[in-house]
Structure 1
Amino acid sequence: MDDVSSPDEPARHAAALPSTVAGTTLDELVIKKSRFLTRIVHVTTVEDADAVVAAARKEFWDARHHCVAMVLGTHADQQRSTDDGEPSGTAGVPMLEVLRHRGLTDVVAVVTRYFGGVLLGAGGLVRAYSGAVAQAVDLAPLVRRSVLVELLVTVPFADAGRVEHVLRTWVAAHDSVLDDVSYGADASFTVLVPPHLRATFDADLAAATAGSIEAIELGTRIASIPA
């Protein structure tokens, strides 16, 4: 379960959140004629991760091994790995250690091995599987996750375009997110802001609107920010 932070610790709690990856990253590593085909995929459930593994097995049906490591949960509290026929401890756990060391969650790594005819030994397998995942993670687009304050900004329709431009410019410069834009009789913008920048946001919004608009705080949310 997710931890509950006290109101005076938002910055520390946010910094403790593990990062994740975006989309799917594919890579290949060849060691002594053995091919290690790696896929790193963003997932949020065990079922999603299992589907990624099943897809790898189907695509590379003739491969000897499909080794897996996955980390899930807001605080990386669900972890699983499998050696899939490789000697115990030589594949899944080393792969999982890479994901842990990189501080990642909501991710599954699948390494498919085509045996090249040369035995690598236990140490060689550990280095190969961990190296394959590390190389693929280096290529994956990282996404930081933080606990942000959720603010609602409502403006008259006539001012919507100008205020939206102000908000988009502001969030781009302050590790924040313009999460939702809704147009009706008025325009509403949902903005996610780091807790320590709340006062700065209020001051900048007041300056940009001559003090005519104030943000309403709705609570906090965990949000993803491209690294």
Structure 2
Amino acid sequence: MTGEYKILYQGGTGEIVEKKSRFIATTKPVKSEEEALAFIEEMRKKYWDATHNCSAFVIGRDNKIQRCSDDGEPGQTAGKPMLDVLLGEGIHDACVVVTRYFGGTLLGTGGLVRAYSKAAQEGLLASRVVTKKPAKEIQITTDYNGVGKIQYIAGQMDIKALDSQYTEQVVFSFLVPLEMAESFISKVTEGTNGRSQIEEKSCVYYGISEKELILFPESLEI
């Protein structure tokens, strides 16, 4: 599978107040159940005096691992609504802990579901979510006559240049979205009259967040 999917890239903290009860949502990227459980324990220690520390996490691009905990709240009123928020947003590799300080007024089951859901959403709003997209690194070697045409094609297709080296020849390295790779190669070949040497390198995942290009370390198989 090589489609795009969303991950929690950077955690954050959000807070809401419902009838004087404080709900503090903290999120963190996690790659394994062990990482998620360690984070949950970390939050328990940080908020040791809280009434509840409820949690939910999803791991894997197919959500192979899904867990949630009500931590003493009535069944299905905390962890499950938080898990539903993660799944509803389509976010993977994420853990959220919602800490509650009881304010003295009971919220009822419906009120708890709404509060924990809203808190989880606030936590995500304070986080950085990145869409991981598949791409191919394509290296093009050309003479100086082909430089302008290649740059024009890349600009028209909004393809990012990772590197360029100018010596006797010019070597470009482009990050090309997987679905555009064939078209890009075809246009460069035509635009330079077949005089460019084109080499397809590794396939990777990338993302863009706050105008920052992010390359993820794992490669993908095509």
Match of 1:202 among 185, 188, 213: 185
User: Which amino acid letter does the alignment assign opposite residue 207 of structure 2?
Assistant: S
Structure 1 unpaired stretches of 5+: 5-12
- Matching residue of 1:151: 137
The answer as to whether partners of 1:181 and 1:187 remain within 8 angstroms in 2 is no
When normalised by structure 2's length, the TM-score is 0.75
User: Which amino acid letter does the alignment assign opposite residue 153 of structure 1?
Assistant: Q
CA shift for structure 1 position 44: 1.5
SS at match of 1:151: strand
Cα RMSD (Å): 3.4
User: Which amino acid letter does the alignment assign opposite residue 61 of structure 1?
Assistant: W
- Matching residue of 1:107: 94
Q: Percent of aligned positions with the same letter in both sequences?
A: 34
Match of 1:66 among 35, 53, 64: 53
Tell me, yes or no, if structure 1 residue 36 matches structure 2 residue 23. yes
For residues 36-80 of structure 1, give each alpha carbon's deviation from its aligned partner in whole angstroms, at most 9, with x where no partner exists: 000122221222222221221122111121111101102222111
Radius of gyration: which is bigger?
2
CA shift for structure 1 position 226: 3.3
Tell me, yes or no, if structure 1 residue 95 matches structure 2 residue 82. yes
SS at match of 1:173: coil
The answer as to whether partners of 2:11 and 2:126 remain within 8 angstroms in 1 is no
Distance change (3 Å), C-alpha of 1:41 and 1:31: same
CA distance in 2, matches of 1:110, 1:81: 10
CA shift for structure 1 position 110: 0.7
Match of 2:158 among 170, 173, 183: 173
CA distance in 1, matches of 2:33, 2:151: 40
User: Which amino acid letter does the alignment assign opposite residue 173 of structure 1?
Assistant: D
- Matching residue of 2:220: none
CA shift for structure 1 position 223: 3.5
Query: After the TM superposition, which parts of structure 1 deviate over 4 Å for at least 4 consecutive aligned residues?
Result: 169-172, 180-183, 185-191, 203-212
CA distance in 1, matches of 2:202, 2:34: 30
Tell me, yes or no, if structure 1 residue 24 matches structure 2 residue 24. no
Q: How many residues align?
A: 205
